[in-house]
Structure 1
Amino acid sequence: MIRNMIFKTPLFIILLICGGFASAQDTSFTTYSAFKKALKMYPDIKIVPEFVSPNVKEERNLTYCTIGDRELKLDAFYPVHKGAKDAPAILIIHGGGWRSGNRTQHIPLAQHLAALGYASFTVGYRLSEEALYPAGIVDVKSALRWVRKNHKRFKLNPDKITVLGFSAGGQMAVLAGVTAGHAEFNLACSTNVSDQVQAIIDLDGTLSFVHPESGEGDDSKKPSAATLWFGASKVDNPALWNAASPLTYAGKNTPPILFINSSVDRMHAGRNDFIKKLDEANVYAEVHTFPDSPHAFCLFDPWFTPTVNYIDAFLKKIFK
């Protein structure tokens, strides 16, 4: 079995101490590492900084679920201007190959969306070095339920919740959105609250691990990120890889969805077939693609601002 093999994969590791949890964490994907990589082809790009708005309240390092001694955290950014209430909510899931990355990478996105009137939350979840699939999805579902349960605290509308993710987080966002009520994910915390979302936003996340367009599953040189997340290769457990693919569940019960993509086609494997299923079920889908753009486009200007604008316009259309 793949979980019993020793992979000689070089990793940059740090000690992470979070709510009593200490572990070596893969830090190979950060905003800065993605910036340095993209800078070679896009010398004019800029990292989007955090900013402060008098109309936005921030609450960081909130515990949304405790599993054993492990405290799972999120950050909240929500409008507090005069008359602010019933804001649509957005749960933001970071990328990093289900193995790396950090919720703080999307704080600028959450801040900008909050300034536009959305209660926005950046969520952390258990990565593959800590816990295999479906732990991360269980965590995201727990966070969704926690946000809904605390709707009065954050002055948000519990019937207008969007799940948004980038890269691996995009795959997780869509999977979370298309599996509302599935018992296998209704574990951990706030299990008596609905995990239903009313909209999905996928920023360059794969729609299928088993689609011919997918780049995951090639373990010829080293285990792919998905292999490490599932704990089994595509050959050893194809049913698991198919069950974790959002395309498997696309249909009439899928919420409206927005795809915002880079020019790296393999990062949205299965998207066209996903949309075809939605068209047949008369479910709204919208696509925007940035030509000549890197995979991590949403972390940098000049793509960040139009990404925010696409998100805002889509949600205004859905929640009008």
Structure 2
Amino acid sequence: MHLSRLLALPALLLVAVLVLVANEMAQARPSRRFANLAYVPASEAGFDTERHRLDVYAPRRKAAKAYPVVVFIHGGNWNSGNKNFYSFIGRRLAKQGVVAVVINYRLAPGVQVPAMADDCARAVTWTYQHIAEYGGDPQRLFTMGHSAGGGLAALLAADNTLFTRRGLTANPVRGAILDDPAGLDMYDYLRKMQYAGDAQYLVPFGKDPAVWKAVSPLYYVTAATPPFLVFIGGETYPSIRDSSQKFRQKLKELGREPQFAVLPGKKHVPMVLQLYWQNNVIYQELLKFVGAGS
């Protein structure tokens, strides 16, 4: 490479960074962020000062009626991830007339998936009880997640006991948006153990098949389950492709066939990174799904 080209690289990188920063500022202006709100009382034994928190992104403009609400759950293989990385999703949803709630939850190896699901249910319960204070409509509350977060978002929509044991008389989730979801049927997946490295999942899921089934959304869906909007990447992992199709078929048999789309050429991680772009097809369908603007 010529010296002139080498010297040009930092300048080009600086321009790219400035463009991204300017774009983020433009996205941020129409929204307000309320950061690091505790969804578990700080006085409660076991309160995690980092993981038991969420951020609310609300549209700045006043509306004649309350906005729909989307609770976003990050992925990360059940052992990593942080809400702070996904502020771009909160900003873009708020800009388009949705109150977004982006949450943290405890991770492995500190806890296993049942505790993660309980954390997420507590975050949704907090949202249901408080989101009207931020302009959101608790009667139009949806869950959304990518990868491991997609599996948790599905479980929240399907397993009503996650909420009844927390004192709610009914499941507040009106639907779920799944972005390349993992964990829809870990009972089947962990019994087979057919891929290299699958033993790692015995850390977050444990070794009891009854637990694997208890946190698998596939075994909770019924004819009364709320609707699903599902996207998978055309080049995603075979396990995600297969379990998503299986989940789709189960819902279809129950008369609850989801909206389902395969995005050609997309691998697993780009399925969430594409949400950086406001006009992405997932946002287009999500806004209709949650009734934004209506």
TM bucket normalised to smaller: 0.7 to 0.9
Aligned to 1:273: 246
Residue from 89, 98, 101 that aligns with 2:81: 101
Higher-Rg member (1/2): 2
Structure 1 unaligned blocks of 5 or more: 1-45
Amino acid at match of 1:253: A
User: Is it true that 1:196 corresponds to 2:169 in the alignment?
Assistant: no
C-alpha displacement of 1:266 = 1.8
Aligned to 1:186: 165
Q: Deviations over 1:264-308 (max 9, x none)?
A: 132244222322232233225111211111101234348852222
SS of the residue 1:70 aligns to: coil
**Long gaps (5+) in structure 2:** 1-18
- Give the 3 Å change call, closer, same or farther, for CA 103–61 of structure 1 in structure 2: same
| Separation (CA, whole Å) in 2 of partners of 1:246 and 1:90 | 19
Aligned mates of 2:58, 2:36 — CA distance in 1: 15
Give 2:40's aligned residue: 65
Q: Is the 8 A contact 1:126 1:136 kept in 2?
A: yes
Task: Please say if residues 138 and 186 of structure 1, whose CA atoms lie closer than 8 Å, have aligned partners that are also in contact.
Answer: no
The number of aligned residues is: 264
- In terms of fraction of residues, the more helix-rich structure is 2
Q: CA RMSD in A?
A: 2.9
Q: Distance in 1 between matches of 2:172 and 2:140?
A: 10
Is 1:136 paired with 2:116?
A: yes
Normalized against structure 2, the TM-score is what? 0.80
What is the CA–CA distance in structure 1 between the aligned matches of 2:78 and 2:202, rounded to whole Å? 10
User: Within 5 A, what are the aligned runs for 1:248-287?
Assistant: 248-263=219-234, 264=236, 265-287=238-260
Return the letter of the residue paired with 2:142: T
Distance in 1 between residues matched to 2:78 and 2:282, nearest whole Å: 23
Secondary structure of 1:101's aligned partner: coil
Cα contact 2:141–2:173 (8 A) shared by 1: yes
Work out whether residues 216 and 224 of structure 1, in 8 Å CA contact, stay in contact via their aligned partners in 2: no
Q: 1:148 maps to which residue?
A: 128
Name the CA shift for 1:228/1:269 in 2 (closer, same or farther; >3 Å): farther
TM-score with structure 1 length normalisation?
0.74
Residues 198-223 of structure 1 show CA distances to partners (whole Å, capped at 9, x for unaligned) of 01011111321134xx4896398655
* Structure 1 stretch displaced more, 304-313 or 113-122: 304-313
CA contact (8 A) 1:259 1:288 kept: yes
Instruction: Kindly indicate whether the alpha-carbon contact (under 8 Å) linking 2:178 and 2:231 is maintained by their aligned counterparts in 1.
Output: yes
Corresponding residue of 2:97: 117
Residues 88, 161 of structure 1: 8 Å contact kept: yes
Distance (Å, rounded) in 2 between the aligned partners of 1:54 and 1:98: 33
Helix, strand or coil at the partner of 1:88: strand
Task: Please tell me the residue identity of whatever aligns with 1:276.
Answer: Q
1:204, 1:215 → 2: CA distance?
Answer: 19
Q: Percent identity?
A: 24
